[in-house]
Structure 1
Amino acid sequence: MITSPAWKDKRYAVLGLARSGRATVEALLASGADVLVWDDRTEAREPFAGRCAIGDPLEADLTGYGGVVVSPGVPLNTHPIKPHADSIGVPVIGDIELFAQARGDLPPHKVVGITGTNGKSTTTALVHHILKEAGMPTAMGGNIGLPILEQDPLPEGGVYVLELSSYQIDLTYSLDCDVAVLLNITPDHLDRYDGDFGKYAASKSRLLGMQTRGHNSIARFTDARVLGQFAEGSVASILEDVLQNRGIAPSEQADWPSLQGPHNRENAAAAIEVCDILGIAPEQVRSGLKSYPGLAHRMERVAEVSGVAYVNDSKGTNTAASAPALAAFENIHWIVGGLAKEPGLGECEAELGHVKAAYTIGKAGPDFAALLDGRVPVEQCETLDHAVASAAKNAAPGDTVLLSPACASFDQYADFEKRGDHFRALVERLA
């Protein structure tokens, strides 16, 4: 695990004991910190009995604490922990901020931070894959994979590749990335930002603003204009220019089987620029693009049954995320619906020419059915079981059955992974 002498003999409160919270507690204890822990679930607190003080930080005197470490899932705009800690002058931070504080005691390394509304998981995993294939020591963490504090420190010359949500960026104040990537910004999670897109965009752009002179920033030209200038003295790259500047033709995308579609061209461009900045040779980058296996639940080709492809894009949890998946295939039997994040079809509307039929599920199913009626054949299925069965019955060889719900999953599933796993299990029964 990653530890730091900076935490020794200091007091911290940790609110939320899911995986990153548990990793945080272990790293703090191993560093010699005194830790107060709390989770509403009794079973989550039990492993720390006798090792930590246990109590709700809202009821504790936090005077002199080094910080309150909260899960990214804690809504800072509504949860009382933020005003409580602010009243005492104690910072509310996350595990990414602790990692930033530990960097000075780690072997010399670089950090790549990747954020954006859509594409950050794919881009993070792709950068990590290319670096690993090129023989560079690398670790992947943040909003993907293992909690960063749970991982072993990299040897000298290693690269930490971090996927960073806006929630995680809100909880760090000193993460100075050697390379920071802002892929895109579209409205999402606005409930956490009081319905204000400007606040959400400002949160994302803080990743660039924390950089110091000489470090590299990568963003789309359109987003850079919205956000204003990069951090003073940073070296800016414009995402739209990468392929041309790095000598990679757009036609080469045909050789990247897990990176199809216009959105993945942008994700690949970001990864190409990161790896170029880090000194990876062009042929090693090309090799990594070709061998990248893709992510589960993100345009994941599950199976081909009777000539019909079945694709799991359960991670498409808003219309902007689902539109690229619709653009990447033809003759689509589209399974759509769940808990809608915004009204309307959004960016999916422009891709309806790829849709042969639609099958609606979940709470937003009737709304999507009404929006699609008269434009594509629609069947209101309510459940994923019914939708997969109907799509399999109607699809012809050469068609694609695509689960890309354009909605959150919480009306019917614990998370998008459970929804995608259910889709995969249903498809396996067809084979």
Structure 2
Amino acid sequence: MGIVSDVFAGKKYAVLGLARSGLATVECLAESGAQVVAWDSRDEARAAVAYKAELADPAEIDLKGFDGVVVSPGVPLNKHPIAMHAKLAGVPIIGDIELFALARPALPRHRVVGITGTNGKSTTTALVHHIIETAGIPTRMGGNIGLPILGQDPLPEGGVYVLELSSYQIDLTQSLDCDVAVLLNITPDHLDRYNGFEGYVASKARLFAMQSAGHRAIIAAEDEPSRSILAQVCQARGGGEDVVEVSSGLVDPVEQRGWPSLQGPHNAQNAAVAMVTAAALGIDPATIKAAFASYASLPHRMQRVRELNGVLYVNDSKATNAASTAPALAAYPPVEGRKRLHWIVGGLAKTDNLDECAPYFDNVAQAYTIGEAGPMFAELLRGSMAVDDSEMLSAAVRRAARVAQPGDVVLLSPACASFDQFRDFEARGDAFAAAVAALE
């Protein structure tokens, strides 16, 4: 059924972009009694909503009298004409998360956890959701992960919505008051959408500015931008127990070895934040630790694909920048002095360096470079490790399998976007899994 709310009845909204969240948005608004104008460049997407919405491009119609323009997070507001068109009409541009925020008073009493950060937010969101499920509390997961939140059935009283929030989604939200708001880390990313790195950092900080007094802010202050936001939030709130600083040091490395899908220093941060978040929801430590042990990796995020002839194959296709690949390299140090990591790296580069990965080059036995960035990365890495310029992902898997020894790890952690050779990081990860499955 999805979420419906009387708050939208009789109002008028335009919806631009009809992928999954756009379709759920049209459904929610139409079922709630709103008048909806919708548009997507794809014929099949428009056909899917023709019976619920008037079809017209919001960037080309008169928006006077509309209550909002709901855009997909993928619409670049710094370049798309809808931004100025809506501004001139005095109509706010919002996203589906803002509609969820507006609908909340009509829902059974509940709590919301909002999780943001450059890296690790999908894993942490899924982990927090898993802990809440393990505790027997009704929960839904949405936002930048899984199904659109508006398309999911409302929770019964006492439930917890866990939302992964990208900076784009926060930009399109004005009134999401999270009971628990979480920041994992900030490194340069998506800078084509912002006025410099400062604009990207400011976007993340808004998640805390939307919170009301008494709601919990949890910040992993292990990088300078996150420490800056922690200081801002503490100053704005006058300190107090509602602002919690977290570090990876909260996780015992010995205990972490017993959590198969949470290996590596980046997952120490994810687990530390999830631990504090779950505690803020009133979940006991024993339940949290049991959930860590039973948690299964998300697809494409340090996902153990197969073990063959004593070699472990790991799909970390979601690592689309060097900062998110670095902890994956750190997760597999040498054993008894023998380097055991075979690293598949490359794709469509976001930068011309791998500086964040450099501290862990000594863990790598050999690199296999692929995609458009392959030649550049091969030159960068040759002074530090053996390099095979494999070009294609399937070739990299076959070549790594030929030289890997029992106890070694073949890791796809590309530090690049996928769009040179694949539709998205999921398609790249699926191709890796297929290549591994074909090995004998």
Common topology (TM > 0.5) = yes
Structure 1 position 55, deviation (Å) = 0.6
Separation (CA, whole Å) in 1 of partners of 2:376 and 2:280? 46
Question: Who is 1:237 aligned against?
Answer: 244
Question: Who is 2:374 aligned against?
Answer: 365
**1:420 has 2:429 as partner:** yes
Question: Who is 1:201 aligned against?
Answer: 201
Separation (CA, whole Å) in 2 of partners of 1:362 and 1:249? 38
Comparing 104-113 with 217-226, greater Cα deviation is found at 217-226
Contact in 1 for aligned 2:342/2:411 (Cα 8 Å): yes
1:100–1:76 Cα change, 3 Å: same
Q: Equivalences for 1:32-431 in 2 at 5 Å?
A: 32-194=33-195, 196-221=196-221, 222-227=224-229, 228-230=231-233, 232-233=236-237, 235-240=242-247, 243=250, 249-330=252-333, 331-431=340-440
1:300–1:99 Cα change, 3 Å: same
Q: CA deviation digits over 1:212-264, x for unaligned, max 9?
A: 10000011234443234117337110012872xxxx63421111111011110
Structure 1 position 381, deviation (Å) = 1.0
User: SS at 2:62's partner residue?
Assistant: coil
Contact in 2 for aligned 1:177/1:211 (Cα 8 Å): yes
Contact in 1 for aligned 2:341/2:411 (Cα 8 Å): yes
Separation (CA, whole Å) in 2 of partners of 1:426 and 1:249? 36
Aligned residue pairs, count:
426
Structure 1 position 111, deviation (Å) = 0.3
Tell me the amino acid that sits aligned with residue 46 of structure 2.
Answer: R
Contact in 2 for aligned 1:315/1:417 (Cα 8 Å): yes
Contact in 1 for aligned 2:186/2:226 (Cα 8 Å): no
Separation (CA, whole Å) in 2 of partners of 1:172 and 1:324? 31
Tell me the amino acid that sits aligned with residue 385 of structure 1.
Answer: S
Separation (CA, whole Å) in 2 of partners of 1:287 and 1:241? 19
* Structure 2: gaps of 5 or more residues: 334-339
Contact in 2 for aligned 1:224/1:230 (Cα 8 Å): no
1:24–1:412 Cα change, 3 Å: same
State TM-score, norm by structure 2.
Answer: 0.95
Q: CA deviation digits over 1:137-194, x for unaligned, max 9?
A: 0000000010000000001110000000000000000001000001000000101114
State TM-score, norm by structure 1.
Answer: 0.97
Cα RMSD over matched residues? Answer: 1.2
Contact in 2 for aligned 1:178/1:216 (Cα 8 Å): yes
Tell me the amino acid that sits aligned with residue 326 of structure 1.
Answer: L
Separation (CA, whole Å) in 2 of partners of 1:106 and 1:112? 16
Question: Who is 2:336 aligned against?
Answer: none
Tell me the amino acid that sits aligned with residue 263 of structure 1.
Answer: H
Tell me the amino acid that sits aligned with residue 220 of structure 2.
Answer: R
Structure 1 position 346, deviation (Å) = 2.2
Contact in 2 for aligned 1:339/1:410 (Cα 8 Å): yes
Tell me the amino acid that sits aligned with residue 247 of structure 2.
Answer: E
Separation (CA, whole Å) in 2 of partners of 1:29 and 1:305? 51
User: SS at 1:162's partner residue?
Assistant: strand
Separation (CA, whole Å) in 2 of partners of 1:111 and 1:223? 24
Separation (CA, whole Å) in 1 of partners of 2:280 and 2:216? 8
Separation (CA, whole Å) in 1 of partners of 2:252 and 2:313? 29
1:241–1:303 Cα change, 3 Å: closer
Comparing 328-337 with 165-174, greater Cα deviation is found at 328-337
Q: CA deviation digits over 1:367-415, x for unaligned, max 9?
A: 1001001210111111101111111111111111000000000010000
Tell me the amino acid that sits aligned with residue 251 of structure 1.
Answer: V
Separation (CA, whole Å) in 2 of partners of 1:200 and 1:347? 19
Tell me the amino acid that sits aligned with residue 189 of structure 2.
Answer: D
Separation (CA, whole Å) in 1 of partners of 2:252 and 2:309? 34
Q: CA deviation digits over 1:3-31, x for unaligned, max 9?
A: 11110011100000001000000000000
* Structure 1: gaps of 5 or more residues: none
User: SS at 1:57's partner residue?
Assistant: coil
Contact in 2 for aligned 1:242/1:273 (Cα 8 Å): no
Structure 1 position 52, deviation (Å) = 1.4
Contact in 1 for aligned 2:115/2:163 (Cα 8 Å): yes
1:184–1:302 Cα change, 3 Å: same
Q: CA deviation digits over 1:101-159, x for unaligned, max 9?
A: 00001011000000000000000000000100110000000000100000000011100
Tell me the amino acid that sits aligned with residue 103 of structure 2.
Answer: A
Structure 1 position 309, deviation (Å) = 0.7
Contact in 1 for aligned 2:116/2:167 (Cα 8 Å): yes
Separation (CA, whole Å) in 2 of partners of 1:126 and 1:206? 23
Structure 1 position 48, deviation (Å) = 2.1
Separation (CA, whole Å) in 1 of partners of 2:148 and 2:51? 24
Separation (CA, whole Å) in 2 of partners of 1:356 and 1:224? 33
Tell me the amino acid that sits aligned with residue 13 of structure 1.
Answer: A
Contact in 1 for aligned 2:16/2:22 (Cα 8 Å): yes
